[in-house]
Amino acid sequence: MMPGVFVFRMTSGVLQLLADGSHATLKLVAATVNDGLIAITIIFAMGLGLVVPKLVIDLLAQRSTRAKS
């Protein structure tokens, strides 16, 4: 849910920039880019949080199996 909020805010900022590009302020551009970067960072961290523990568990399971044989 959390990255969705930032993606929604980024999309809103992009649409505002496209609709009224001549009145684009530096504040709006910065906020839009910031929201996009935060969303990407959260999604990346969530992916790592899912993959790394799985890799560690698989590695420990392989070591346990080798030790028993």
pLDDT tens, per residue, the chain with 69 residues: 788 999 999 999 999 999 987 788 999 999 999 999 999 999 999 999 999 999 999 999 998 888 876
Number of domains in the chain: 1
DSSP 8-class letter at 25: -
- The answer for residues whose C-beta is within 8 angstroms of residue 39's C-beta and 6 or more apart is 3, 6, 7, 10
Q: For position 34, what pLDDT does the model report? A: 97
Phi, psi dihedral angles at 51 (to 5 degrees): -80, -45
Q: For position 68, what pLDDT does the model report? A: 78
Picking from 9, 2, 8, the residue whose alpha carbon sits closest to that of residue 49 is 2
| Number of neighbouring beta carbons within 10 Å of residue 44 | 11
Q: Are 10 and 35 in contact (CB under 8 A)?
A: yes
Q: What's the predicted TM-score (pTM) here?
A: 0.78
Q: Which domain holds residue 42?
A: 2-68
